[in-house]
Structure 1
């Protein structure tokens, strides 16, 4: 066999291997998407989104968005999902960045979930990082965006996310950590609580005050970057001055 024929045969084998690998990946992705869709529809049959929202609003200590400081809401969006008002439930830019970083580090360290996806997870699914559940979460996020306004989604989110120390709403967190209603929180307290849900067991102010303060400074930095907070105001906030 000549060198050219050997090269041609090797290229043909490589092409066939690639096509088989590609077909397997497509089939696997299709199967995961289908399982995720079934998980989504099953969850929706058991608890329609309007009823799920009603259960959150009926909780003792539910705090309407109108009673929350603007600083807190700006901090939450800057820290968790700065394109919240621009996407339709899924931030494809954030997902692309997360996939790249996860492949680079060979881990699931970065998720790219939006506030809407996190709300979907809080209302319906587990915290486990599993592909089928992530797909179901995406379908549910699209449903939530179709069913509610952005303000309603944000209101449901801050009243269902975990803040550590047994607190599952901003009202509970404010009363537990600061002994005051959410509407009375200072700017420093607002920025501190906005950072806790990222890792409640790590940033719980009553357990790890130093780490909570470190996270608060990160949130303030994100507000400078995404929410138009001035550097002078940021420096005061990181020192605990309103």
Structure 2
């Protein structure tokens, strides 16, 4: 019986290793395919050339803290992938007491938003990990954070922190208050559900989770969190001039081909519709 279980264990290990090798081989192939058509550096340059791009040091620091706390708490402790987060995300699918999470790091989310071709398959997830690793090799943590806040969806058609700061509050990103940044940081996880125009109470509930995460990660203490939560942060302008219409690149590609998809995305990243 011992010999049977030993062989069974060995077989399971071999299957797992083979699966991992297959997973990353396909991921590398898919990542290379994407980069052959649209290099990662080219997409980053396109974002940075956008007139609405805001450099790292021109954004309120509290937005970065809040974003890290709620999206990727171990951001400065791992590379492209946070193995602990992936394990926790997998466990959360089976253990009700563990809060549901996706396991994606900020770098992985940047890749997903740059290529906008996520199809939910394991091959894409592997490619996303490979591309995120390449991103982390070429750019600093601060540069990747700046990319994230400049391309992420903050709801109500506001893509990027420049649009969100002006669209919601009529201020520069550097002038956002902590109360404002902590509510904005929670929106990207589900923009339609947390956008401030018609789901402000949902966003407030999410802000509480953001503040709790900041306390948990020792960025602020509980007294500061309580005070921040009491400060006003409802949208003051909701300026439509800062809204951008986004098109799903995968849907365009299905109908018109990859080149037209990239043409549309390049235009949207630089100018919008």
Tell me the TM-score normalized by structure 2. Answer: 0.76
Could you tell me which residue of structure 2 aligns to residue 220 of structure 1? 211
Q: Find out whether 1:111 has 2:102 as its counterpart.
A: yes
C-alpha separation in 2, matches of 1:113 and 1:218 = 18
- Offset of residue 118 of structure 1: 0.8
Tell me the TM-score normalized by structure 1. Answer: 0.85
Write out aligned runs for 1:28-67 (5 A).
28-67=19-58
Q: Find out whether 1:234 has 2:225 as its counterpart.
A: yes
Greater Rg by CA: 1
Could you tell me which residue of structure 1 aligns to residue 171 of structure 2? 180
Write out aligned runs for 1:1-242 (5 A).
26-104=17-95, 110-240=101-231
Cα 1:233–1:16 shift into 2, 3 Å? closer
C-alpha separation in 1, matches of 2:11 and 2:215 = 49
- Offset of residue 117 of structure 1: 0.9
Paired residues in the alignment total 230
* Structure 1 unaligned regions, length at least 5: 1-7
After superposition, the C-alpha distances for 1:93-149 in whole angstroms (9 at most, x for unaligned) are: 1111112222446xxx53211111111111124344321111111111110111001
Cα 1:132–1:104 shift into 2, 3 Å? farther
Cα 1:138–1:86 shift into 2, 3 Å? same
RMSD, aligned α-carbons: 2.2
C-alpha separation in 1, matches of 2:39 and 2:102 = 26
